[in-house]
């Protein structure tokens, strides 16, 4: 009888130990996907590094097969197969052009579906976006800071009081009709999805995910 009890205890202990180590592995894997995702060792001007830095603006299951465009906005670094396109979104350009983007955060990669691509092209040329339906854009490397009320404010000093937000990882919904975002907050400190650039024609919904407040603490 005593032997039986001991065996049961041993089995229980084994199951608990196994479960804990499985959890640890899962946590570690999730962290790897977001944080390192196998950064290539070459220079940041190499095609390999650029593809890694830009594509990982999306989750690995999208990054693996997306098209990747170089900083000139034209050169295809890698042809994709899943309809998503990754490109750098930092309007400031590189701080050190000879050595490429300092890190993926400086590149501000946008990984876009075809409708979000229309939005981005219109945004970059100062036109009103014309889309067939809503678009989606991943920015898991965040951005270098924005005035939440107005587009293309490049420095915190030039932004409205309390409106500067340097985002960490997020997903964005680019609406075909900005009016459909009505009812969402514009407050980026709640952790809830919020509207950026409201009433500018470039209104979109920012959807914070894990590590969103990595660069700027939540107030
Ligand atoms: Cu964004």
Sign of CA dihedral 87, 66, 42, 209: positive
Mean pLDDT by 10 residues, the chain (219 residues): 57 53 52 63 96 98 98 96 98 96 98 98 96 98 98 96 98 98 98 98 98 96
Give the Å distance between the CA of 40 and the centre of ligand 1.
25
Give the Å distance between the CA of 58 and the centre of ligand 1.
12
Closest of 71, 92, 88 to residue 158, by C-alpha: 92
Tell me the two tokens of residue 134.
Answer: 């809503």
Give the Å distance between the CA of 45 and the centre of ligand 1.
24
Give the Å distance between the CA of 7 and the centre of ligand 1.
55
Report how far residue 196's alpha carbon sits from residue 138's, in angstroms, rounded to the nearest whole number: 15
Centre a 10 Å sphere on the Cβ of residue 75 and count the other Cβ atoms it contains.
11
Tell me the two tokens of residue 170.
Answer: 């997020």
Give the Å distance between the CA of 91 and the centre of ligand 1.
13
Contact (CB, 8 A) for 121 and 114 = no
Closest of 100, 110, 93 to residue 167, by C-alpha: 110
Give the Å distance between the CA of 212 and the centre of ligand 1.
11
Tell me the two tokens of residue 56.
Answer: 């990982």
The pLDDT, as a whole number, for residue 32 is 47
The pLDDT, as a whole number, for residue 115 is 98
CA distance readout (Å), 131 to 18, 74, 193: 50, 21, 22
Radius of gyration (C-alpha) of the chain in whole angstroms: 21
Give the Å distance between the CA of 53 and the centre of ligand 1.
16
The pLDDT, as a whole number, for residue 143 is 98
Give the Å distance between the CA of 134 and the centre of ligand 1.
15
CA contacts within 13 A on the Cβ side of 21: 5
The pLDDT, as a whole number, for residue 8 is 62
Give the Å distance between the CA of 206 and the centre of ligand 1.
7
CA distance readout (Å), 93 to 71, 102, 106: 8, 11, 9
The pLDDT, as a whole number, for residue 78 is 98
Tell me the two tokens of residue 106.
Answer: 């400086």
Element (H, E) at 135: strand 135-139
The pLDDT, as a whole number, for residue 35 is 47
Give the Å distance between the CA of 173 and the centre of ligand 1.
9
Give the Å distance between the CA of 169 and the centre of ligand 1.
8
Closest of 133, 128, 127 to residue 114, by C-alpha: 133
Give the Å distance between the CA of 41 and the centre of ligand 1.
27
Give the Å distance between the CA of 143 and the centre of ligand 1.
6
Tell me the two tokens of residue 62.
Answer: 């999208």
Closest of 141, 125, 110 to residue 204, by C-alpha: 110
Exposure of 208 by Cβ count < 10 A (0-12 exposed, 13-18 middle, 19+ buried)?
Answer: buried
Map out the domains of the chain as residue ranges.
Answer: 1-35, 45-208
Give the Å distance between the CA of 208 and the centre of ligand 1.
9
């Amino acid at each position: 009888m005593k032997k039986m009890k001991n065996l049961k205890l041993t089995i229980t202990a084994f199951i608990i130990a196994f479960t804990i180590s499985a959890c640890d592995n899962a946590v570690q894997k999730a962290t790897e996907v977001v944080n390192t995702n196998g950064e290539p060792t070459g220079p940041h001007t190499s095609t390999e590094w650029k593809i890694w830095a830009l594509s990982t603006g999306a989750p690995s299951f999208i990054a693996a097969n997306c098209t990747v465009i170089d900083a000139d906005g034209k050169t295809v670094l890698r042809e994709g197969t899943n309809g998503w396109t990754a490109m750098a979104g930092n309007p400031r350009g590189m701080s050190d052009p000879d050595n490429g983007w300092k890190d993926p955060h400086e590149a501000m990669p946008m990984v876009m579906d075809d409708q979000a691509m229309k939005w981005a092209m219109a945004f970059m040329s100062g036109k009103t976006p014309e889309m067939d339906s809503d678009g989606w854009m991943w920015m898991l490397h965040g951005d270098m800071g924005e005035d939440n009320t107005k587009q293309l404010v490049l420095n915190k000093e030039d932004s409205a009081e309390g409106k500067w937000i340097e985002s960490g990882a997020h997903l964005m919904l680019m609406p075909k009709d900005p009016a459909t975002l009505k009812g969402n907050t514009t407050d980026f400190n709640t952790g809830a999805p919020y509207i950026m650039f409201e009433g500018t024609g470039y209104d979109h919904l920012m959807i914070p995910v894990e590590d969103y407040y990595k660069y700027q603490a939540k107030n």
